[in-house]
Structure 1
């Protein structure tokens, strides 16, 4: 090779070398500057993404208690039954219990001397008559019979004996007023205890509200009736 040829090929050789080195450098560059979708990476996982937890649920408290917020999944998986055996027992017992109160109250218009006693009896009939219908409907919608075979209703709290009921029916005037107030007070006290007990162990929300109403209203009526005896 002549000196002139060497002067021509040296720049060409240098240019080729630069092009080769540049290509190698480009091949080894980090791909971070490319869009994320274009970057190579591990194969996408075939496992479905974990679903988030269920939204929180506001759970009503028992009557008189505040509501509480619980995890939705736990509430769904651990939901209490709609009613339990104690709800059913309370309803079945409260029907004849109310019926006796209605029987006593029905005697007042023709026998009571004090108009306030007649007013108490009127309130009892107005409240407990529809409540008996509500209790029967509660059982009917659940295909449950109202009768309890072999149970002596006279043993329930507050229930008055057959002899006491005969004495009340035979009384008139002030004697009726005094006997009615004493018997109905004891009868209401029994209903309050039964209802308060259900609030501790029942599961049905409707019966919780019913029992709470009975306990509150009949407790207030006991106070009114006791005031009649002191005047």
Structure 2
């Protein structure tokens, strides 16, 4: 995965999230402000103080609200990383690292060619993703934000006993256990990525998390078919 230059644009609706409706409202407001309303019945009503206004959809369970073009523009995220972004990058590096430990066992212990190829694909994807997240942290002063991230409680992580069982397993026993543990591992990664889409603020982290969701969700489907 390549690191894309950080921008301050509003993020697109690849995954539904609470911030998107406000961002779209802001874009709409800015567009309306540049047009001649002409006084028609379809023109946006002006708020007190003048200028067009738009209705911004509320967060889930909350009512919509009317805001001016200026207010809508201010509601756009500035793209600065927040705690959720840093937490995701630090924890996902560790999470992906365990996946690589598991895939390294497959060439010698797996019986199924499909399992071996799956392990190769996982390793080929997650190695570069670790590099990308490390690069992002390096470019965003990540060392100052590495404390306080509990890696032991990450969803989907295999326990020490489970990894020991996987290291001892061979043939079909390895195949079954690998698919079981890796499916749960991927589900945990999707959970973490979904959380940062809802809580984070940085467009590069959003793009990385969206890629994780798309790729690992597809692999979960394949592993379930193989199991």
TM-score past 0.5 threshold: yes
> What is aligned with 1:131?
129
What whole-Å deviation, never above 9, does each CA across 1:47-88 have from its counterpart, x for those lacking one?
A: xxxxxxxxxxx8442325688324385566455342111011
Higher helix share: 1
| Pairing 1:63–2:19 present | no
**SS of match in other structure, 2:105:** helix
1:134-190, Cα deviation, whole Å (9 max, x unpaired): 000111111212884575523210000111111101111001000000000000010
Unaligned runs of 5+ in 1: 1-57
**Counterpart for residue 168 of structure 2:** 170
Relative to structure 1, the CA distance from residue 199 to residue 166 in structure 2 (aligned partners, 3 Å threshold; closer, same or farther) is: same
Counterpart check, 1:80 vs 2:77: yes
Q: Cα offset for 1:105?
A: 0.6
User: Does the CA contact (< 8 Å) of 2:82 and 2:201 recur in 1?
Assistant: yes
Structure 1 distance, partners of 2:188, 2:10, is 31
Match for residue 115 of structure 2 among 90, 114, 117: 117
Quick one: distance in 2 between partners of 1:177 and 1:132?
25
Counterpart check, 1:143 vs 2:94: no
Secondary structure at 2:143 match in 1: coil
User: Are residues 1:217 and 2:215 paired?
Assistant: yes
* Corresponding residue pairs, total: 172
Mark the CA change 1:217 to 1:146 in structure 2 (over 3 Å): closer, same or farther.
farther
- For the residue of structure 2 that corresponds to 1:154, the secondary structure is coil
Aligned equivalent of 1:155, options 153, 156, 160: 153
CA RMSD of aligned residues (A): 2.3
On the 8 A contact 2:91/2:151 being kept in 1, the answer is yes
Q: Contact between 1:86 and 1:201, CA under 8 Å: does it hold in 2?
A: yes
Distance 1:90 1:146, change over 3 A: farther
SS of residue paired to 2:152: helix
Q: Offset of 1:199 from its aligned partner?
A: 1.1
TM norm structure 1: 0.68
Partner Cα distance (2:174, 2:157) in 1: 18
